[in-house]
Amino acid sequence: MDEKPKAPLPHLVFFPLPFQGPVNSMFKLAELFCLEGFGVTFVVTECIHRRLVTSSNIQFLRHSYPSFHLMALTDGLPNDHPRNGDRFIEVFNSLKINTMPLLKDLLISGSFWQPVTCIVADGLMGFAFDVAKETGIPIFYVRTIGPCTLWTFFCLPHLLDSGELPPLDTTNINADDMDRPVRGVPGTESFLRRRDLPRFSTLGDTAYESLQLLMKEGEEVPKAHGLILNTFEELDGPLLSLLRATCPNTYAIGPLHAHVKNKRSKQTVTESKCSSSSNLWPEDRSCLGWLDQQASKSVMYVSFGSIAIFSREKLMELWYGLVNSGVQFLWVIRPDSIIGENWEKHIPAELLEGTKQRGFIVGWAPQEEVIGHPAVGGFLTHSGWNSTLESIYAGVPMLCWPYFLDQQLNSRFVSEAWKVGLDMKDTCDRSIVEEMVRDLMDVRKEEFSRRAEELSELARNCLIEGGSSSSNFQRLIMDIRQGGSHSS
Ligand code: UDP
User: Tell me: the pLDDT tens digits for 251-264?
Assistant: 999 999 999 999 98
Q: Is 384 close to ligand 1, i.e. is its CB under 6 Å away?
A: yes
State the pLDDT at residue 273.
41
- Give the pLDDT score at 275: 57
Query: pTM (2 decimals)?
Result: 0.95
**pLDDT tens readout for residues 294-335:** 999 999 999 999 989 889 999 999 999 999 999 999 999 998
What atom of ligand 1 comes closest to residue 407's alpha carbon?
A: 25
Of 161, 311, 139, give the one whose Cα is nearest residue 226.
Answer: 139
Q: Which residue's CA lies nearest to atom 9 of ligand 1?
A: 367
Give the list of residues 6+ apart from residue 127 with CB closer than 8 angstroms, or none: 96, 100
Ligand 1 mean position to 384 CA, how many Å?
A: 7
Best mutation site among 385, 387, 400 for ligand 1, i.e. most ligand atoms within 8 A of its Cβ?
387
- Say yes or no: CB of residue 332 within 6 Å of ligand 1: yes
pLDDT of 355 higher than 80: yes
- Is domain 286-365+372-460 annotated with CATH 3.40.50.2000? yes
Model pLDDT for residues 435-474, shown as the tens digit of each residue: 999 999 999 999 999 999 999 999 999 999 999 999 999 9
∠ CA 78-106-33, rounded to 5°? 95
Ligand 1 centroid to 387 CA: how many Å? 6
Q: Report the amino acid identity of residue 268.
A: T
Choose which residue among 20, 332, 380, 388 to substitute to test ligand 1 binding: the one with the highest number of ligand atoms within 8 A of its C-beta: 20
Q: Where are the alpha helices (DSSP H) in 84-126?
A: 88-94, 100-109
- Confidence bin at 2 (pLDDT 50/70/90): low
> Residues spanned by CATH 3.40.50.2000 within the chain?
11-144+224-278+462-481, 286-365+372-460
- In percent, the amount of the chain with pLDDT more than 90 equals 78
Say yes or no: CB of residue 364 within 6 Å of ligand 1. yes
The percentage of residues in the chain with a pLDDT greater than 70, rounded to a whole number, is 95
What number does the ligand 1 atom closest to the CA of 403 have?
25
- Please tell me the residue having the least CA distance from ligand 1 atom 18: 384
pLDDT band at 59 (very low <50, low <70, confident <90, very high): confident
Tell me what pLDDT residue 268 has. 58
CB neighbours of residue 428 within 10 Å: 18
Q: How far apart are CA 303 and CA 442, in angstroms?
A: 20
Residue 25's alpha-carbon distances to 254, 258, 277, 316, in angstroms, are 9, 11, 10, 32
Buried b (16+ CB within 10 A) or exposed e, 94-109: bbbeebbeebbebbee
Task: For residues 73 and 227, give the distance between their C-alpha atoms in angstroms, rounded to a whole number.
Answer: 25
Span from the CA of 19 to the centroid of ligand 1 (angstroms)? 10
What was the pLDDT predicted at 488?
A: 40
- Assess if CATH 3.30.2350.10 describes domain 11-144+224-278+462-481: no
**Cα 174 to chain center, whole Å?**
31
CB-CB contact of 346 with 306 (8 Å): no
- pLDDT > 50? residue 28: yes
Q: Ligand 1: distance of its center to the CA of 312 in Å?
A: 21
Q: Report the pLDDT value the prediction gives residue 9, as an integer from 0 to 100.
A: 84
Residue 33: predicted pLDDT: 96
Q: Does pLDDT of 487 surpass 50?
A: no
